[in-house]
Amino acid sequence: MNAPENKQQFRLVGTRPVRPDGVEKVTGKAIYGPDHVSPGMLQGAVLRSPHPHARIRGIDTKKAEALAGVKAVVTGQDFPQAADKLVAGAESASNLRWVAQKCMAIGKVFYEGQAVAAVAATSHAVAEAALKLIEVDYEVLPHVIAIEDALAEDAPVLHDDVFTQGLAEKPTKPSNASMRFAIERGDAKAAIAGAAASFTGRFTLQPVHQGYIEPHACVAQWNADGQAQIWCSSQGHFAIRAMTAGILQIDIASVRVHPLEIGGGFGGKTTVYLEPVAMLLSRKAGRPVRLTMKRTDIFRSTGPAPGAVIDITLGAAADGTLVGAEIELKYHGGAFPGANEVYSGVGGAVGHYRVPNASIVGWNVLSNIPTMHAYRAPGAPQINFAVESAMDELAARLGIDPIDLRLKNIVHPGEPSASGVPLGAIGYAEALEAAKAHPHWSSPVAPGQGRGVACGAWGNYGGPSTASVKLGEDGSVLVTEGSPDIGGSRASMAIMAAETLGVAYEKVRVTIADTSSIGFSMVTGGSRTTFATGKAVIQATEGVIEQLKDRAARTWGVDVAAVTWEDGTAVHGDQRLTLAQIAAKTGTTGGPISAEAVVDPHDFLPGFGVHICDTEVDRETGHVLVKRYTVVQDVGRAIHADYVEGQMQGGAVQGIGWALNEAYVYDRSGKLDNAGFLDYRMPVASDMPMIDTVMVEVPNPAHPYGVKGVGEVPIVPPLAAVGNAVSRATGIRMHDLPISPDRVYGLLRAAE
């Protein structure tokens, strides 16, 4: 059940060809952010705050500047004064005022690890020595970490000019609650009061990191003529260009960003931390500068996914029909305002179910930790943990099979989505039916184990993309696009181009161009790339086909309307010309053949997943072991089946880690205790069983090959699937993540 049924609709779509970038990566020849070298390059280093909250009274850099080998030093005073200005570069607009302070503190530090100064020198050792010579005069201020502590009346307020947005009346005093967002329909309280069964509970989660292996790194070169180049790993080099240019207040056209290979991102590499700093150092030094983050700095000063405190009440009729939901979610915001996760959390809380009466309120809460950032379906796993745990409790109280309860309440094609737009060709019911029919669900639960199930959804996205397709004189094909390859997009673009043209997969090469060599493309995120950039590639390929038909018509002296394109060949009656034959004669039939397409599609469709998990709990130690795991998902149509399976398995593993092990742990002084992979416990291969995958294919009719997007959905259900499995194994509801051995042990002993 690990591959979609091959209905022979396509030659290449749905197959598993060798990935085009595989050899370079497995042999270590691929160039990532920390690998790039420019002639005359200097090494940079960043001084970071040891305090979670402090006023900077002064910075003395004279001793550092006098050290032999030091070529430049910058502080917040070197940055242009940033105003409130939104720049559209990542999955949503970012306020440059706050983005700039993630790069360098100006006047005040808001979390341990915030950058306060940077040095460029002839060697890394000299740069590090120079950092020790910089003297910073701090006035240490009270700090706050936990969500509820930040909302307390006596909590230190981080920003004097941040007032809660979204209230009925404009507040008169600043607050750590930067915004409120709510969705109300019907009368939730009355519906729940009349329900045959209800469940009320509080669920908590801690911030977790995306866990990418490659550190943030870049090389910047700012020339004397004002032209600048950046080499970096990111999920969207156009976003890096926009943010860097905006922070430094220079023209976008003056910044050229070259995308390097990316060693993981998962949402965490859609913003800037180093690039503006390296640019300023380069301008001062007159030479290229490389900056690379240490692993401890990545944990302490880049954006994790938010922790949350969620209060939920769900009510259902005796037959299991959901009648009402009351939910209040409070998400960590980190040091600076930004509420994307709150919007998605509120909007998608019960979006995969029909709930006629709902009151869902979300808060973004600031505290002295790094600003939260996207992590694969941002905001969805947290709220889904609470909702799917409550669904499990309702199923038990009503005596209804957990999958049957969900089937009774799911949204169907044609019904309104959470945003009110009617749903299209979704495969949610098909995914649940496939899960119910899977041997995992019907097999006996082993003694001492528990089985949990959870559903989840993600809206997916489209957005702007640009692609071009060119033919070589030998008939080979070059696809050029602007979306960094994180989840296999080179292979999927090559498959779609080859399928459309009717040529072999091996004839297509895909290049990810820099910001000056291709038109704008939005970041690789939101499960948009295969859908949106794929559409651009297909349309550009279709443009090439029209030119090929025209060249064939000229050769034969016939009307182009009489020429068709079949299996890589122009056809007119008994006459045929292959793509290679036409390409060989382009010099005499009109010149090179190429086409470009620009798209901004919004006919994307959401994806839905169902996860089944078996866990075993050691009652003597509290240790939880995942024994069996199955992922079922509506994938639209799998373009490259191996990559789709990998997305499903990878998201599940990340969700399992979130459920069982991962969490930011701060001490009383506001310092992160586990800033490294040795102490921040992520799952490794020996922790995991083989994760079975079932790809349910309900194609999106708005895409030529049925693509929906698959990367976000798999991380949404695992938190609840694991939680439900452990709850059933122990007989104790798991309300708090991570479900660590000490927590489980304490719950077991308390229940004795």
Domain spans in the chain, listed from the N-terminal domain onward: 39-141+216-292, 304-460+605-751, 462-599
Residue 482, C-beta contacts closer than 8 angstroms, at least 6 positions apart: 237, 238, 465, 466, 467, 512, 513, 515, 518, 519, 520, 521, 533
Two tokens, residue 334? 């980190």
pLDDT of res. 7: 53
Q: Do the Cβ atoms of 460 and 604 come closer than 8 Å? A: yes
Residue type at 127 in one-letter notation: A
pLDDT in tens, 163-222: 999 999 989 999 999 999 999 999 999 999 999 999 999 999 999 999 999 999 999 999
Whether the Cβ atoms of residue 340 and residue 92 lie closer than 8 Å to each other: yes
Predicted local distance difference test score (pLDDT) of residue 1 = 44
d(CA 81, CA 562): 63
List pLDDT tens digits, range 705-731.
Answer: 999 999 999 999 999 999 999 999 999
The segments of the chain whose pLDDT lies below 50 read 1-6
Residues 6+ apart with CB under 8 A from 490: 19, 20, 21, 510, 512
Give me the pLDDT at residue 85, please: 87
**How many whole angstroms separate alpha carbon 468 and alpha carbon 683?**
40
The CA radius of gyration of the chain, in Å to the nearest whole number, is: 27
Could you tell me which CATH class the domain 39-141+216-292 is placed in? alpha beta
CATH for 304-460+605-751?
A: 3.30.365.10
Burial 671-701, CB ≥16 within 10 A → b, else e: bbebbeeeebbebeeeebeebbbbbbbbbbe
- Give the tens place of pLDDT for each residue, 297-335: 999 999 999 999 999 999 999 999 999 999 999 999 999
Q: What was the pLDDT predicted at 709?
A: 94
Place of tokens 């559409």: 535
**pLDDT value for 417:** 84
| C-alpha span between 273 and 211 (Å, rounded) | 17
Supply the pLDDT for residue 2.
47
Provide the pLDDT for residue 83: 79
DSSP reduced 3-state for 238? helix
pLDDT, position 88: 73
Rounded alpha-carbon distances, angstroms, from residue 5 to 14, 238, 638, 696, 698: 9, 38, 10, 9, 12
Cβ contact 629:451 at 8 Å: no
**Parallel, antiparallel, or unpaired: how do β-strands 322-334 and 358-366 relate?**
parallel
**CA pair distance 168, 171, nearest whole angstrom:** 9
Burial class (CB in 10 A: 0-12, 13-18, 19+), 508: buried
Do residues 117 and 73 make contact, with C-beta atoms less than 8 angstroms apart? Answer: yes
Q: Give CA–CA dist 633/641, Å, rounded.
A: 13
Q: Distance between CA atoms of 522 and 525, rounded to whole angstroms?
A: 8
Cα→Cα distances 350→56, 501, 656, 710, Å: 45, 42, 22, 20
Q: What whole-number distance in Å separates Cα of residue 101 and Cα of residue 92?
A: 18
- The β-bridge relationship of strands 135-140 and 108-109 is unpaired
Determine the CATH number of domain 462-599: 3.30.365.10
Structure tokens at 349: 């809380």
462-599 shares the fold of 304-460+605-751 = yes
DSSP letters for 187-228: -HHHHHHT-SEEEEEEEEE--B----SSPPEEEEEE-TTS-E
pLDDT at position 337:
94
**Cα 16 to Cα 257: distance, rounded to the nearest angstrom:** 32
Can you say whether residue 709 is alpha, beta or left, with left for phi > 0 and alpha for psi between -120 and 50 degrees?
left
What is the rounded distance in angstroms from the CA atom of residue 495 to the CA atom of residue 514? 22
Contact 548, 579 (CB under 8 A): yes
